[in-house]
Structure 1
Amino acid sequence: MLRITYLLLCLATPCFADVQGPVHVVDGDTFHVGDARVRLHGIDAPEVDQTCTHPQRGEWACGAFVRDELRDRFEGQIATCEEVDVDRYGRIVGRCFIDGRNVNEIIVSDGLAEAYRQYSMDYDLAEKAAQVRGVGLWSSDMQTPAEFRAEQRTAGEGFVSPNSSCIIKGNISGSGRIYHMPHNGDYDNTRINEANGERWFCSEAEARAAGWRAARN
């Protein structure tokens, strides 16, 4: 009877479970906990390839620094993570605890990530306190991780295929309709503007059938 009641409740509202296991730090806001991939709820850390600018030291690799700092602190320790949601990539979104301490809050309090207010206000005050103290990332100028990701996506538009199986670039220029293979000299610099009739192809045969010819370089 209890099991039936539980199943009925899960149909009405989401039912979440805890995950537990040793931590492997992927980046500043993503862990592997046991066999589960966990996106830490309510925080947003710089991407691993993101840089910050310090007033005296200049540009530095703040994203890689945060990842390495968290590895020094938490790698291999046993965490318990409360599942809050599941994101579009299939990752658990959760609050993680080690020895009873909220890891998400520690990361924000020590200036290693922002409070991700778009999804939660849980760590708003922790971030503000870190900013006042000027600790971690707050000793430098940093583009928000969300803005950095948006710029990276924009910069890649037209240069990287949305389908990893279709990587041949069908370009239109003064020389006509030309397709570029990855080994061609102009491949990396060729941008595909689909609004102008340019397109990606999955095979040379498909490109030739559509009226494109191979690049000569």
Structure 2
Amino acid sequence: MMAALLAVVTSPVCAAKLSGPPHILDGNTIEIEQTRIRLSGIEAPETDQICLDGHGRKWACGVAARDALINYSNGRTWDCQTAGVDKYGRSLGSCFIEGQDVNAWMVSSGWALSSGPYTYTIYEVVASNAFAGLWSGAFIAPWDWRRRNKGSIIVGASSVPGDAQELLLGSALLSDPPSPECLIKGTVDRNGERTYHSPGQLSYAQIDMTKKPAERWFCSETEAEATGWRRAAQ
């Protein structure tokens, strides 16, 4: 009986409350008290995602979304309610700063889209109408970006540039890191094994990031590990 009770109490699907200033890994992943939390009901761009700005130029919108969240947080305490985990073991949660719903703020500010069983659709409409964040130009929805191909749909609050397909889906798109801080290379082998390679490792220089869209850049090892990637042996 005691063993069964302990299993329930320590189960990762149990609801929990966490408070504190977070370490922000990307636009929808944070850490509080060594617990990784994936903000529920929203999808922010990966830190290596590239979008087009209002002038049709490429920009690192994933890094911009993360930095917008960092600036909004500004060292303040977050209060998060978690329930359940995702496939990477991150706790799923709704978080608040001084009573403000952070998940909703990311969508209403245009740095994330509404996703899943939770609904932030009204905030997405507000962001689109205001040409805020991602909506200031053209972009691929984050869930499509991760498995993008020539048929991926490019959206935006206004007109999508005629050369958007070439700019956002070209094979050389991620030949260079999206930001000087994002130098970690992620690769996927034939068996679906995900590994990341940091500067200084023997394998690092041999990796050609233009080979296939499964390759991606990370800004930190913690970010890579939070989404199921492991460090390469060498």
Q: TM-score range by the shorter chain?
A: 0.5 to 0.7
Alignment deviations for residues 151-200 of structure 1 (CA, whole Å, 9 cap, x no partner): 39xx9655787275xxxxxxxxxxxxxxxx95998x859x9xxxxxxxxx
Distance change (3 Å), C-alpha of 1:37 and 1:56: same
2:89 matched residue in structure 1: 90
**1:24 matched residue in structure 2:** 23
Q: Which amino acid aligns with 1:88?
A: K
How far apart are the structure 1 equivalents of 2:205 and 2:24? 38
Bigger Rg, structure 1 or 2 = 1
Match of 1:133 in 2: 130
Q: Structure 2 unaligned runs (5+)?
A: 150-170, 172-186, 196-201, 212-234
Matching residue's letter, 1:79:
W
Answer whether contact 1:84 1:93 (CA < 8 A) is retained: yes
Distance of aligned partners of 1:122 and 1:182 in 2 relative to their CA distance in 1, 3 Å threshold = closer
CA distance in 2, matches of 1:183, 1:30: 26
Structure 1 or 2: more helix by fraction: 1
Shift of 1:86: 1.0
Q: Unmatched 5+ residue regions in structure 1?
A: 165-180, 192-217
**Identity of matched residues, %:** 34
Q: CA deviation at 1:125?
A: 1.0
- In the alignment, is residue 76 of structure 1 matched against residue 107 of structure 2? no
Indicate the residue corresponding to 1:63 in structure 2: 62
Judged with a 3 Å threshold, the aligned counterparts in structure 2 of structure 1 residues 163 and 59 are, in CA distance, closer, same or farther, namely closer
Q: Deviation per CA, 1:126-157: give whole Å up to 9, x if none.
A: 111211221111011111111111239xx965
Report the 3-state secondary structure (helix = DSSP H, G, I; strand = E; otherwise coil) of the residue aligned with 2:21: strand
| 1:171-182 to 2 correspondences below 5 Å | none
Deviations 1:31-53 (A, max 9, x none): 11232111000000011011111
Match of 2:226 in 1: none
Q: How does 1:98-117 map to 2 (within 5 A)?
A: 98-116=97-115
TM (norm. structure 2) is 0.60
SS for the counterpart of 1:151 is coil
Q: Is 1:145 the equivalent of 2:142?
A: yes
RMSD: 3.2
- Deviant stretches of 4+, over 6 Å: none
- The equivalences for 1:38-53 within 5 A come to 38-53=37-52
Specify the code of the residue in structure 1 equivalent to 2:119. Answer: D
For 2:138, the aligned partner's letter is D
